[in-house]
Structure 1
Amino acid sequence: MHNRGWRSVYCITKRDAFRGTAPINLTDRLHQVLRWATGSVEIFFSRNNPFLATTRLKFLQRIAYMNVGIYPFTSIFLVLYCFIPAFSLFSGHFIIETLNITFLSYLFIIIICITLISLLEVKWSGISLEEWWCNEQFWVIGGSSAHLVVVLQGLLKVIAGIEISFTLTSKSTAEDEDDIYADLYVVKWTSLFIVPLTIMVINVVALVLGFSRTVYSVIPQWNKFFGGVL
């Protein structure tokens, strides 16, 4: 619609205009994220890609739609990032060969900026720190599972012509209908768990291996071990 020149207005009513139910267990939540990311990837590979949009699409709109279409592809870098600490502990070599004051200064500035942005988001949205932390955890889980699967499916559709399919989100699976939170404790296996579980297992094994290597070495280098753990 914006690509054809239409204008839109964001409206917030004092009273909620619409209300709906959302999945609260991990499996159904991942399937919902999978469906959302599928739509983003399909738009990215379609003629409505913001890179190919007409001049009617304004610059900020183009940036916003680029963000919407590209975010699933960050899963590739996220998965690699999750494995880097384990590879560091397996090999016994820290990610950065030499640490100097310049590198640590830049790292400190980046961490402070990220922390301030996170605090700003918490204050702006009015949520608690616990809710924010849970959201950060789910972002890693969803980014390393559903988003990665969608990117692979999108590439298969473009390259091999294989259609993208997704599972509709189940809104109620628990037997106890009187308990609105009963569905929270329902655990159903899905293939989307494979990558996050693999990341967890490999990192735990790397911690044990790195600790054992440090303890039984002739000259224990605890700085490398704690650097890898950090």
Structure 2
Amino acid sequence: MLWWRNEQFWLIGGTSAHLAAVLQGLLKVVAGIEISFTLTSKQLGDDVDDEFAELYAVKWTSLMIPPLTIIMINLVAIAVGFSRTIYSTIPQWSKLLGGVFFSFWVLAHLYPFAKGLMGRRGRTPTIVYVWSGLVAITISLLWIAIKPPSAQANSQLGGSFSFP
């Protein structure tokens, strides 16, 4: 099961820290902007007697937004896939099963991140969820603008509208 943990943390790191590192590198090369940071110690607070208290000491960072956005998009994709298949005149269950399997695979990989984000007693700042929701909505609207639903899909869903 060590390979599974490695896959999970590779996906979490790839969607947060590695992505940020690539963006910082591009900023440095293209715009000449260098981003610096300082290390600070964590304050454990009132959980001193808990031996795992340092695992729950998570502070707000923008690196939380991309993985949480991926979680939100996959949950919405599962809901939309089910609704499209159930309300379709010709349901395509194989497409639904393939999409749901992929979404659950991604969600299973991001489970340690979600568990750590929830932490204890809801200490995650609301701004993390707000920004992730805004990014997820923006990506969804961009996807619809780039690849609008076809007229055939609209008629299968019972819609009477068409795109130019």
| TM-score interval, normalised by the smaller of the two chains | 0.5 to 0.7
1:140 maps to what in 2?
Answer: 11
1:173 maps to what in 2?
Answer: 43
Residues 2-151 of structure 1: pairs in structure 2 closer than 5 A: 129=1, 131-151=2-22
Which structure has more RCO (C-alpha within 8 Å, separation ≥ 6)?
Answer: 1
The residue identity in structure 1 corresponding to 2:43 is T
Query: Relative to structure 1, is the Cα distance of residues 162 and 142 closer, same or farther in structure 2, using a 3 angstrom cutoff?
Result: same
Moved more, 178-187 or 140-149: 178-187
- Aligned partner of 2:31 among 152, 160, 175: 160
2:95 maps to what in 1?
Answer: 224
The residue identity in structure 2 corresponding to 1:138 is F
CA–CA separation in structure 2 for the residues paired with 1:221 and 1:162: 50
Contact 1:154 1:164 in 2 (8 A): no
TM-score (structure 2 length as normaliser)? 0.54
CA–CA separation in structure 2 for the residues paired with 1:159 and 1:193: 25
The residue identity in structure 2 corresponding to 1:188 is K
Displaced runs of 4 or more, over 3 A: 176-180
Deviation at 1:217, TM superposition (A): 0.7
Per-residue Cα deviation, 1:22-41 (whole angstroms, up to 9, x for no partner): xxxxxxxxxxxxxxxxxxxx
- Aligned partner of 2:86 among 215, 220, 224: 215
CA–CA separation in structure 2 for the residues paired with 1:169 and 1:138: 23
Larger radius of gyration: 1
Question: How many residues are aligned here?
Answer: 100
Deviation at 1:167, TM superposition (A): 4.0
